[in-house]
Amino acid sequence: MSRIAFIFPGQGAQVCGMGQDFYEQTETGKKIFDKASELLGFSMPELCFEKNDRLDITEYTQAAMVTAGIAMMRVLEEQGIKPDMAAGLSLGEYCALAAAGVMSDEDAIRTVRQRGILMQEAVPVGEGAMAAILALDAAAIEAVTGSMEGVWIANYNCPGQIVISGKKAAVEEACEKLKAAGAKRALMLNVSGPFHSGMLTGAGEKLAQVLADVDIHTPRIPYVANVNAQPVTTAEPVKDLLTRQVSSSVRWQQSVETMINEGVDTFIEIGPGRTLAGFMKKINKEVRTMNVEKLEDIDKVVEALK
C-alpha cells in the first residue's frame, strides 16, 4: 500500500479561476466556497473566479488559496483517497492543518484571513523584499546572510533554490554578495512583503492573539511543521509553531525529506499550479508526485492509486 501525503502550495500559486469547476460541479466544493463568503463577508467565488486586482493582495490571497485548497481536498477525500501525512508550504500549512483535523475548515479560513491582514500591515510597501537564490548550496547562503543585518533565509525550497527575505537594501546587497560567492542567479521576487523574515515577528505575535481563540484538536494524522520540519502528533505545540512560522524559515525541503523518512512514497499536490511537484523533482526523483488542480485530475489520481 502507498503511504500518501497531501501537500499544499503557498502564496504566489494563486490564479484566477482556481477551484471554479469544484464550485460549479460539486456540492462539497460549492458548500466550502459559500461558507467562506458567509464567514468573511465578501464573495469568495467572485474573488477567485472573476478578474480582479484583489486576488494578489495578501489579505485576500491567503483566504482565497486556503478556501480553494480545502474545497479540492474535500472532494478528493470523497473518492476514498485519504492521506497518511500532510504538509503545506507557508500559507499551505493551514490546508494541512485542516487535512489533519487540527483546525476545522472554517477556522482555517477565518484564521488565514486575519493572518493575511496582519502580514499585509506589518511592513510598509517598498521597505521589504525577497529574492530567489539559484544554484548555491545552503551553507554558503547561510554564511553570507548570517553575517549581515536585516536579511534572513525565508525558504529552503529544494536543492539549488533558496529564498532570502528582509529589508530591501539588505536583500539587494545580499544578492550581489551571493552572486560573488557563486550563485548562478539572484532574482528579486514580485511580492508584497518580506515574508518569513525577522521583520514579521510583530505580525506573528499578533497572530498568536488570534490563535488564542481558535480550537486546536489532536491531529488525526501527523502534519509536518514548516518551522522545524518535524511531524506534529499532539495539539500542544501547534499555536506556538504557527506563531513562529510567520517570521521563521520555511524548511520545505527538510519537511519532504522527513515525510519520505516516515515512509511516504506518494505525494498529492492539491491546489493551483505545480510548484511543489517541481521542487520534488530536485528533492527526490524516486517518489511519485500527483497533482489535483482541476476536477478531472481527481479521476486520474483515483485511477493511478487503484
Structure confidence at residue 192 (pLDDT): 80
Instruction: Identify the pLDDT of residue 44.
Output: 98
Q: What is the pLDDT of residue 299?
A: 97
pLDDT band at 2 (very low <50, low <70, confident <90, very high): confident
DSSP 135-157: S--HHHHHHHHHTSSSEEEEEEE
Interhelix angle for 105-122 vs 27-40, to 10°?
A: 50
**Across residues 97-125, what is the average pLDDT?**
96
Cβ contacts of 124 within 8 Å, gap of 6 or more: none
**Beta strands of the chain (E only): which ranges?**
4-8, 85-88, 128-134, 151-158, 161-167, 185-188, 223-224, 231-232, 266-270, 288-292
| Average pLDDT score over residue span 88-105 | 98
Residue 92's pLDDT band (cuts 50, 70, 90)? very high
| Band of pLDDT at residue 190, cut at 50, 70 and 90 | confident
- Picking from 134, 138, 165, the residue whose alpha carbon sits closest to that of residue 248 is 165
Per residue in 235-268, pLDDT (tens digit) is 999 999 999 999 999 999 999 999 999 999 999 9
Spell 224-235 as b/e; 16+ CB within 10 A means b: bbbbbbebbeee
pLDDT value of position 119: 95
The average pLDDT across 151-163 equals: 98
Q: Give the pLDDT confidence score for residue 249 in this predicted structure.
A: 98
pLDDT of residue 125: 84
Of 90, 197, 248, 255, catalytic? 90
Query: How high is the mean pLDDT of the chain?
Result: 97
Residue 65 buriedness (CB in 10 A; 0-12 / 13-18 / 19+): buried
> 90 an active-site residue?
yes
Considering the chain, what percentage of its residues have pLDDT values greater than 90? 97
Q: Cell 481527481 identifies what position?
A: 298
| pLDDT score recorded for residue 234 | 98
Contact by Cβ (8 Å): 69, 15:
no
* C-alpha to C-alpha distance for 86 and 224, rounded to whole angstroms: 6
196 tagged catalytic: yes
- Residue 1: its pLDDT value, please? 77
Q: Which of 16, 5, 2, 57 is nearest to 272 (CA)?
A: 16
Query: 14-18, 54-58, 176-180, 220-224: which has the minimum mean pLDDT?
Result: 54-58
Residue of higher predicted confidence among 103 and 191: 103
Report the pLDDT averaged over residues 7-21.
97
Q: Could you give all domains of the chain from N- to C-terminal order, each with its CATH number? A: 4-123+198-304 (3.40.366.10), 128-188 (3.30.70.250)
Candidates 165, 192, 196, 249; catalytic one: 196
Asked whether residue 118 carries a pLDDT value surpassing 80, the answer given is yes
Query: Would the pLDDT of 191 be above 90?
Result: no
Query: Do the beta carbons of residue 198 and residue 247 sit within 8 Å?
Result: yes
Whether the predicted pLDDT of 284 surpasses 90: yes
- Residue 221: predicted pLDDT: 98
**Element at 84 (helix H, strand E):** none
Pairing of strands 128-134, 161-167: antiparallel
What's the pTM?
A: 0.97
pLDDT digits (tens, 9 = 90+) for 210-238: 999 999 999 999 999 999 999 999 999 99
Q: Check pLDDT > 80 for residue 72.
A: yes
Q: Which amino acid is at 4?
A: I
pLDDT at 306 over 90: no
Distance CA(248)–CA(170), nearest Å, equals: 17
Q: Dmax of the chain from CA atoms?
A: 55
